[in-house]
Homo-oligomer: A and B are copies of this chain.
Amino acid sequence: MMAVVTHLEAVQAAQRTIAGKIERTPARKISGADLDPRLEGLELVFKCEMFQKTGSFKIRGVLNKLASLSAEEKARGVVAMSSGNHAQAVAYGARLEGVPAVVVMPTYAVQYKIDATRALGAEVVLCDAQELLATYARTVDERQATAVHPFDDPLVFSGAGTLGLEMLEDAPDLDAVVVCTGGGGLLSGVATAVKNLKPDARVVGVEPEGACAIRKSLDAGSMVTLDLLDTIADGLAPPFTGENVFARVRQYVDDVVLVSDDEIREAVRLVVERLRLVVEPSGGAALAAVLAGRVGVARGQTVAVTLSGGNVTAERLKQML
């Protein structure tokens, strides 16, 4: 029988589970004025998750989920659905744990991410965006495999939340945490960690204008599914959030704000020129919101910002510079 654990304990347990299998990624601290005049007076702490295994934070949740499987479940394998970073994380994690993996990917996924997923040994099933959920459900059923949800599984988002624990280790005096947000796994995990350990810290999620399922769900008071997705941040573009994630967001997150594609591009350029780091568009969204003055922080504050992934080809990066 499993002991009852608190939300925070689940994240702390995940940290112990995945330690040694993930990179303990560094933080880069910089005065806002050295980055952009609009940031003067802020101290920024960037979480460099582009250096994580498979190039994004996703491996944290995946490894936490895989560790929970029985030997029998491992033998039957796992199935995941993703446009990219979660796909690579599942492929890498499954190979590490000796678990067969099938990844259902939409045909609009970035080719580089499809190739990388296959190169890591996973079977990739491509289908139209409209058939994504049905194909996923059918594949789980056919293979009698375990579904590894990209975000709406407590084991997955508690794993993602370990990033929040590390941010607090690196900047114990932080006043705010700004998190780029797609389905909401990273946001809900990080918010769970931060709000339980430092309740007065502000936690803000950032979605692209063209893929803002959580903002719209918050406004509607219940979960909304988007008909149209339109953003360069392919990693932040699921058309829906999830029940568990949405509950966590409502419990712990102070605000969810939006950024345009142009604002994301500008943030990516700034990260390249000033931080000398490479982020994918999704990874630049949180900084874009800080630059736009949308996160509700004030001079003198320390703001931790996620750079959540760096899976971008030279060709795609070039288009943003």
Contact = CB atoms under 8 A, between A and B. Distances in A.
A16 interface: no
A310 interface: yes
Given A26-B26, A321-B315, A276 B278 contact: yes
Contact of A321 (B276, B277, B318): B318
A316 to B, nearest CB: 9
Nearest to A278: B276
A278 B277 CA distance: 6
A50 B276 CA distance: 7
A272 B277 CA distance: 8
A241 to B, nearest CB: 28
A278 B269 CA distance: 11
B277 A276 contact: yes
Contact of A278 (B26, B51, B278, B318): B278
Q: How many A residues touch the partner, as a band?
A: 20 to 34
Nearest to A55: B276
Interface in A48-86: 50-51, 55
A261 B55 CA distance: 28
Contact of A273 (B273, B276, B313, B321): B313
A168 interface: no
Contact of A272 (B55, B269, B273, B314): B314
A28 interface: yes
Interface string A284-308: 0000000000000000000000000
A310 B313 CA distance: 19
A229 interface: no
A317 interface: yes
B276 A310 contact: yes
A272 B278 contact: yes
A317 B313 contact: no
16 contacts: A26-B26, A28-B51, A51-B276, A269-B314, A272-B317, A273-B278, A273-B313, A273-B314, A276-B277, A276-B310, A277-B277, A314-B321, A315-B321, A317-B321, A318-B321, A321-B321
Q: Name the 4 nearest CB pairs between A and B, nearest first.
A: A276-B310, A318-B321, A276-B278, A50-B276
Given A272-B278, A277-B277, 7 more contacts: A51-B276, A269-B314, A273-B314, A276-B277, A276-B278, A278-B278, A318-B318
